[in-house]
Structure 1
Amino acid sequence: MKRLWLLLLVWPQLLLWPLLSWANDSTVMSWLDNRFRVDPTVQQVSFMVKRDQKSNSVVLVRPDGHKYYAWRHPDNVSWYEEPGMDIISIENPMPGPWQAVGKVSPKNQITVLSDLKLDVDNLPARLYQSETIKFTARLTQNGQPLQMRDFLDRISLSVVFYEYIENPDDLPKEALPMPIPMGTFADDGLGFDEVAGDGEFTVALPVELQPGKYTVKVSSSNGIFLRTVEQEVLVYPPPINASFIQGRGQQEAHQVVISGEEGALKTGSLAAHIEQVSFEGETTISQQAALPDEERLTVWLPNGELPGRYTWSGWLYATDSFSDRELIFQLPESHFAVQAELQLDRNLNAFREQQEAKERQAEFARLEAERQAARSKAMKIIALANVLVIVLVAVGAVLWRKRKVKKAMESAELSVPGS
C-alpha cells in the first residue's frame, strides 16, 4: 500500500518534469507527440527540430491552436530550414504547451534553447580607414557561452555599416543610406577566430570606408534567430603610409618605406611583414621592426634579378598614440615588372649611344667640311696670289722692256749728228 501511495505521488511529477525542466537549459525532447511547454518567464526561445531528410518542414502549433509554417509566420518568428532540419526562433513566445507536427526523427529529436543573447564587442571610438580590426560577438544561453555545434554551425552573423544620419525614422525608405556589407562572423577556428565551436564569432573587419560617421549593425543574416545590435563609430583617415621604391639595376634591393602621421603613432611601434612573389610563384618574406626611437621604417626586399612580373603585399603594425590601441593595416597586392624596366633602360642607353654617335659623326663632318672649305679657300687665295704675281711680273717685264726700248731710242737720237 505504501508503494502504491508513493507511486501515485511521484507519477504526476514524472509526467510534468519533461515539460518544465528545460526552462533554464537546453533540453532534448523525445516524446511521441513532440510537445514542449514554454514557461511564462521566457522572452525568447529557439527550437531545433531534426526530421527525416526527405520530409517537409514541420508545422509549429501554438498553445491556442494557431499554426506557424516555414512560409507563413508573424514577424516575431524567424525560420531557418534545410533538408532534415528546422530551426525556429520566437521572440516573446506564448506560454503554454507547443507542438511540432511533422516527421520528426525519433533518433534526432527536438532541442529547445531559451534565453539566447547576442553580445557584441564595442568598436573603438576611433577607427582608421584601411585598417583591419578583430571584431567579436558571443552567443550565450542563460549567460553561458552556447556550444551546441548543430546550432552554431548554422548561425550567420553579418556586419553592415550605414552612413550616419539624424532621425532616420523621419525619412522615407528611398532616402535612407545604402547598407555597406563589411564582413561575416565565423566560429570555425580559422583566421582571427581562436577556437571553433566555443560560441565566440570573430570577423577580420576591413575598414574600407571613406572617413566619416557611421552606424554599425550586427545581425543574424540567415533567419536563425532575431537579433540586431547597433553602434555608432567615427572613421578617420589612415595615420600610416607605405611607398614602394624599385631598385635600379639588378643588384640594388627594392624598398618599402613606411611612415606615420606626425603624433598619431607611438614612436618605435612600427613593424612590417612584406611578401614578394616572383613570376615563378616563389615567395620571399621580409620583416622589419622599428627601433625604440624611430618614427620611420624601411623594409628591404631582395631584387629578383631575373626579368618578369613580381607582386608584393603585406601587413603593417603600429600602436595608436591616442588610445594605445594596436593597429593592423593590410597592404593590398601591388605589381612591378623588372623586365619592362630593364628593357627600357637598354633601349634608352642604345638610343643615347646612337644619338651620341650621330652627333659625333655630324661634328666630324662639320669640322671636315670646315677644313675642306678652309683648304679650298686657301688654295684659291694662293692661286689668285700666284696669278696676281705672274700678272705683276708680266706687267713689270713689259714696262721694263718699254722703258728700256725708250731709253735705247733716246740714246740713239742723241748720237746722230745734226739732229
Structure 2
Amino acid sequence: MARLLAVLLVLICSSSAYAVQSFSTVDSDSKEEVEKRAMSLIEGDLTNKLPIKGQSFRIDENVEEITLLFFREPGSKPLVLIKPDGSKWYDTRYPAEKVTWYTDPNFDIIRIKEPQPGPWQAAGRIDEENKALVISDIRFEAEPLPSPLFQYEELKVEGKLYNGDEVVKTSRFRQTVLLDVLFVSTNNSDFDNFGSNPSRVAQFEDDGRGHDERAGDGIFTGFFNLDVVPGEWMATYEMTTPLYQRVFESGPVEVKPLPVEFNVIQSESVDDNHQLVVRVNEDWIDPQSLVINGETSFPNGEVRKFTVSQIESFPHSVEIANLAFGKHLIDLDIFATSVGGREFEARIDDFSFIAKEPPPPEPTAAELAQRQQIELERQREQARLEREAKQKQAMTNLIIIVVVNIVLIALALVGLWWFKFRRKKVAVENDEAEAEKPEKSGKK
C-alpha cells in the first residue's frame, strides 16, 4: 500500500486524557495545559503540526494509545524505535500483545498500547519534513444523494475528509486513506432488494483523474454506478487506513427501476431490420428530455453507433441493422431530466438479444403441387421396390424349398441304395457259408 507521503506522527489518544509534547516541552506542564495544547492542534485545521526535535518526540504519561506514522526516504529500511529506557523495537521484533506494526516501502505505521512515558527516538532514514499531528474524530462527509435514484444511474458525488470539525487539508495525509462506497440492503421485505448482497458502487479519489477535477484540493470525488436491484439501500462509506477501518452510513435511499425501458422486436425476414423499442415512464421523467447514445456490436464483428433525441412520441423504434444471425450486444447511455427537474444519466452495458434465422416462407400452390407429385412418385417407387423385394424373397424361398427337397430325395435314394447293397452283401455271405459246409463234411 505504498504511497508518496511526507513524514507524519499520528497520535490517537483515549477520550479521557491524552497529550503530546515536543522533546523540548517542560515536564512540569499541567495535564490541563497539555490537553489544551493537543486540542489546539485539532482546531488548527491540521496546518499547525507538532514538529519533532530531530528524530525525537515525547509521549506524555496520560497517553493510553498512540499511533506513529513515519514516512521514510524511498527504498530505505524500516525504522527502529528506541524507548525511553534505551531498549529497541524492530519491525520484526516487538511485543505483539501491545504493538501493531505495519511496514511499507515508503512508511512505517506503529500502534502502541500504554506506551512508556518519556522521550522516544526513531532511528532510520526519515524524510526531512517529518511532522506530528493529532488525529481526533476522523470522518468522511459526502454530498447528500438525490432522491429517488434510478437503477443503472451514474452520478458524480463529492465529499470531504474531516478531522474533528476541520477539513483535512494535508494532501499527503489524505493519500493514506481509501474511501469505498457500498450499498447495503436494508432488508425491508417491502422492496425487491430484500436479502440482496452488498454492492460496491464507487470509490472516492482526490487524484485529479477520472471525474475528480483537481488533485489534492481536499475534495474527494466518487462516480457512482448503480447497477443494483431496485429497492431500499443504505449508502455505506468505508474509510480504510493500514491499521484501522471506519464506516459511515447515509440513508436509507431508494433506487427506483430505470424509467426508460428497452425491448427488441426481431425481424421475421432477412430483408428487414430489427427494431429497438423505447418506452418511458412519464411519471418519473420528462419524455422530451430523453437522449440515448447507443453502440451495437454485431455477431459478424461489426460495430455501429446511433443517437436518438427529441423523441416526439412513445413507444419509439430504433432500427438495428439485420447483418447476421447470433448474439447482438448494445451499450446504452441514457440522459434525461426527472419530473422534479434533476438531470441524470444512466448506462446499460449488458443489453443483448439473439437474432435467429427466420423460418422459410410458406410454399405456393405450384410448389405444393410439385411436392405432392414428388411425394406420389416417391410412394410409387417405394411400392415398386417393395413388390420387387417380395418377389425376390418368394423366389428365394422357392429355391430353398426345391434345394431342400432335392437334398432330401438324394439322401433317401442313397439310404435305399445302401440298404439294398447291405442286404445283398449279407445274402452273398450267407450263400458262401452254406457252400463251404458240404466240402468240410466230405473230407471227413
- TM-score interval, smaller chain: 0.5 to 0.7
- Which deviations, in whole Å up to 9, do the C-alpha atoms of 1:89-130 show, x marking residues without a partner? 99xx99x98856342524463453645542212122422333
Match of 2:401 in 1: none
Cα distance, 1:331 vs structure 2: 1.2
Please identify, of 264-273 and 121-130, the stretch whose mean Cα deviation from structure 2 is larger: 121-130
Unaligned runs of 5+ in 1: 1-12, 167-175, 367-419
- Partners of 2:95 and 2:202 in 1: how far apart? 28
Q: Distance in 2 between matches of 1:123 and 1:100?
A: 47
1:219 aligns with 2:238: yes
3-state secondary structure, aligned to 1:348: coil
1:120 aligns with 2:142: yes
Q: Does 1:131 align with 2:153?
A: yes
Counterpart CA distance in 2 for 1:106 and 1:255 is 64
**Among residues 254, 260, 264, which one is paired with 2:280 in the alignment?**
260
What amino acid maps onto 1:348 in structure 2?
P
Structure 1 CA distance, aligned partners of 2:261 and 2:101?
Answer: 47
Instruction: State the AA in 2 paired with 1:204.
Output: F
1:109 aligns with 130
Residue 264 (structure 2) aligns with: 244
Deviations 1:249-273 (A, max 9, x none): 5664544332222422123121111
8 Å CA contact 2:300–2:324 kept in 1: the answer is: no
Secondary structure of 2:288's counterpart equals: coil
**Partner residue in 2 for 1:313:** 331
Note if contact 1:51-1:84 (Cα within 8 Å) is conserved in structure 2: yes
Out of 366, 370, 374, the residue aligned to residue 360 of structure 1 is 370
Distance 1:276 1:57, change over 3 A: farther
One-letter code of the match for 1:270? L
Output one character per residue of 1:128-161: Cα deviation in whole Å (capped at 9) or x when no partner.
333233333222466345351x433342112223
Question: Given residue 318 of structure 1, which amino acid in structure 2 is its aligned partner?
Answer: A
Q: 1:325 aligns with which of 328, 339, 342?
A: 342
Q: Which moved more, 1:105-114 or 1:19-28?
A: 19-28
Alignment of 1:71-220 (within 5 A): 81-87=103-109, 99=120, 101-107=122-128, 109-110=130-131, 112=133, 114=135, 116-140=138-162, 143-144=166-167, 146=169, 148=171, 150-164=172-186, 179-220=198-239
TM-score by length of 1: 0.59
State how far apart, in whole Å, the 2-side matches of 1:221 and 1:248 are.
56
Q: SS state of the match for residue 183, structure 2?
A: strand
TM-score (norm 2): 0.56
Which structure shows the bigger proportion of residues in helix conformation? Answer: 1
Summarize the Cα distance change of 1:14–1:164 in structure 2 as closer, same or farther, 3 Å threshold. closer
TM-aligned CA distance change 1:295 to 1:279, over 3 Å: closer
Distance 1:245 1:230, change over 3 A: same
> Taking structure 1 as reference, are residues 233 and 81 closer, same or farther at Cα in structure 2, changes over 3 Å only?
farther
User: Structure 1 residues 358, 177: closer, same or farther in 2, change over 3 A?
Assistant: closer
SS of 1:268's equivalent?
Answer: helix
**Does the Cα contact within 8 Å between 1:28 and 1:110 map onto a contact in 2?**
yes
Contact 1:89 1:226 in 2 (8 A): no
How many residues get paired? Answer: 323
- Give the conservation status (yes or no) of the 8 Å contact 2:206–2:218: yes
Where 1:151 maps in the other structure, the secondary structure is helix
Structure 2: runs of 5+ lacking an equivalent: 1-21, 27-36, 189-194, 377-444
CA distance in 1, matches of 2:135, 2:253: 32
Alpha-carbon deviations, 1:200-232, whole Å to 9, x = none? 333332333334333222121344665432122
In structure 2, relative to structure 1, the CA distance for the partners of 1:83 and 1:100 (3 Å cut) is farther
What is the identity, as a one-letter code, of the residue corresponding to 2:72? R
Please, which of 299, 304, 310 is the counterpart of residue 284 of structure 1? 304
CA 1:221–1:126 in 2, change beyond 3 Å: closer, same or farther?
Answer: same
| Separation in structure 2 between the aligned mates of residue 273 and residue 355 of structure 1, nearest angstrom | 47
Equivalent pair of 2:23/2:58 in contact (CA under 8 Å):
no
C-alpha separation in 1, matches of 2:371 and 2:155: 66
**d(CA) in 1 for partners of 2:66, 2:273:** 62
Q: CA deviation at 1:313?
A: 0.8
For 1:362, the aligned partner's letter is Q
User: 1:103 is aligned with what amino acid?
Assistant: G
Q: Which moved more, 1:354-363 or 1:231-240?
A: 354-363
Q: How far is 1:54 from its partner?
A: 5.1
